[in-house]
Structure 1
Amino acid sequence: MPANPSTPGSAQNRSCDRFRARNTENLIAELLVLQEDDVVRHPCQMADISVGGCAVKVSLAHPEEMSVAVLRIRDKSGAIDLEVAGRLCWNQQTSVGSNTFGFRFRRLMDGKVIDQMVAEGLVTRRQEARTTVGTKIQLRRAHGHPTVKVATLEDFSTTGVRIHSDQELSVTERLLLTTPSGASGSVSVKWVKPFGNQFECGCIFQNLNSARAINDALTARS
């Protein structure tokens, strides 16, 4: 899939939108660099991407000698297969022998390419990685609210959780969440929407102790 320049309007609207890479086992990336008349391939790992550029983690012997390169991105399903020319514009050492490089595209990418990468589950807007769980939990509401009889914790991160409930919860409502192992933490509802005959809601942890308790319990379970 070719990388095409976006229209000026869409570029303005999307140039600051960065999408975090996910499912890196399905997302294959490499930098192609010309060295002494040979094209050298450097496997790399996508960190994030926007229509104007991306960040990649790669091990380069002499990064100061490299500036112009071609980035190839593809996924195992074959839905995404694109090459973009660009320039390495910054680097930050992240581990021994590996740096994170900023890669600025020569021309803006068509925003539809990123939309497709989102649809394929290769990149996400979320800043925090989420882990899918799908486990039954208990939710305790403040006195006066209808009791939640059935609730499922669908996924979690270091900052919050996504829940399915048989009762419609209220935005800003505070809940006490208890996992099957007995770990508890307090969360605050940020958004609610219908989901079949249930309701889906996104919640954030009220404090660090709650975040640690729930994350530790669910990580140990998985």
Structure 2
Amino acid sequence: MNAATPRRRRMSRAERERQMLEVAEAVFAERGFRAASMDEIAERCGVSKPMLYEYFGSKDGLLLACVARSQAELHEVTQKAIAGATTPRDILWRGMVAYLSFVDSHSRSFTMLVDEPLSSPPETAAAIEDIRRQQSGLISGVLATFAADAPPAVVEAYTEIIIGGAERLSLWRTRRPEVPVEEAARYITDFCWSGLRPYLDEAVTGDPVTGGGEERPAPR
């Protein structure tokens, strides 16, 4: 007597949604938003196209759901990364390593969204800006804590410098993947540190990133 074929476990709605988003992100990255089709995404997921529309409403809605998921994941990994830091320089470096590592794992979709904004629906630009504002809130909060005497304009300006610099550095690394994440994070940390240091109390200007006299890698 043959053993009964085990029944495949049915995915929960949350599991199915996660699968759809992962597949959709891959297809958008491979094809670009305009060329990506709901038919291909549904086929790769093993579901019907009507089910995709039931979950997300439209292809625009599916892309925006992908962006929203990335926003939540980025916020979580960044917060976890800076939680163990005790000085502003270490917080900045850890946050940059987390950000650059996250972009590495989503590099093709990140490039599509940031470098080709006109190919995506108009709402995507607002969603990307929400991610920037989310990260700005984390950064400005840290700066305000460790540089309490810095004028608000200084905190705002350096927050924008860090956000913009991190984004451009991430795009640069998609063309220079041989540059390690840690090295790229050190570039932006060093750059911002020279400007921020006058506003920081001497008691919090330790340098755990370089370990005091650690030799820095030569530029590539």
TM-score interval, normalised by the smaller of the two chains: under 0.3
The alignment's TM-score, normalised by the length of structure 1, stands at: 0.26
The answer to which structure has the higher helix fraction is 2
Q: Which has the higher contact order (CA 8 A, sep 6+)?
A: 2
